Amino acid sequence: MLGKYPLHFHMAGDTMRGFLVNGVSIWDSGNRFISIHRTNGIVVSNVVGYRSIGHGFFLEDGTEIDNIFESCISILTLPGRIRPDDARPAGFWIQNPRNRLVGDIAVSSYGSGFEYAIPERAPDVVPFDEEAIKTITPDIITYPRRSYILEFSSNEAHSNKLNGLFIYRIDMNRERIINVFSNFSAWKNGLDGISITVSNALLKNLYILSNSRSNIMIDGYNVTIESSKILSGAETSVNTQWGIIVSASPIIIKNTLVRGHLQADIVNNIRGFTKLVEILDNVIYGKFVFGYPLNPESYTKIINGNITYYLYRYDIKRINCTLNQEYMAQQCIG
């Protein structure tokens, strides 16, 4: 039933900041674990949720900010019918990025472990009057995609039906505040370990392995991956098709091990005519496929010690570009 949850914070605004839910166990819930709706600053700590119908830990409509989920675990979320998206229930369902998730675990969700489903506009904040919106509510609440990740660190996601971490989308922040995702582990998820559409993001100290389709899929602008391990195949117990699939520009991958994937460790899959810039700095990988960027000025810069190589998709002066990609790569890099 809509609005009937084990723990429900309903439209309290800032009046309950600092309220603590600590050391609670919630099991066999017919409808979520904890729901926070238009309420800010709630601290949810050391909570175990087992077997929920619909999303587990739930921020409802994109107006919720400054809430903290710390050292919580979601185990087994099953499809529900309260909302259409309950058909793919996440362990943690977040609709405004300006919240903190620290040391949480999502296991066996029927959807993704962690899902940031960010609406372009938070629904029903005020009557649809643009001038009224500007005077009544902050921009980050009215338009959550213009906000930024407050904190996402030391979380884990495994054995979920879809993705370990799924984000759509955080890419409209005009201040270009960096969205940081650190110390995240994801393995044995049914689609991707990480599938995100973000801009101005730093992903560091990742440990991503043995996810079914790809370990990381990135779309967006200005993304860096550093100091991480992205593994599959002989390195792990499950074969992953793709290591890192990139549709972002520019992207920098540095000080990272990417190895063992069936199709390719790194594949550039840019869409449209955007110029693509990719930099691989001190990256260990096997097979790299420089996708299909339609802008002939796109390139990948590969830094290996004191030597720098450039790989262009269309480089008439060096290569007959009707040749296959592997031969092109050998000629440009080898």
- How deeply is 93 buried, as exposed, middle or buried, from its count of CB atoms within 10 A (0-12, 13-18, 19+)? buried
260: Cβ contacts below 8 Å, ≥ 6 apart: 231, 232, 233, 234, 235, 236, 240, 243, 286
In the chain (334 residues long), the average pLDDT of successive 10-residue segments reads: 93 94 97 96 98 97 95 98 94 96 98 94 54 52 87 98 96 84 97 96 96 94 95 75 90 94 85 78 85 72 81 52 47 44
Residue 32 CA to residue 142 CA, distance in Å, equals 25
- The confidence score (pLDDT) of residue 8 equals 97
Residue 258 CA to residue 265 CA, distance in Å, equals 6
Lookup result for tokens 């362990």: 91
Residue 286 CA to residue 326 CA, distance in Å, equals 12
Both tokens of 169, joined, read: 């989308």
Both tokens of 199, joined, read: 């801009």
- The confidence score (pLDDT) of residue 15 equals 94
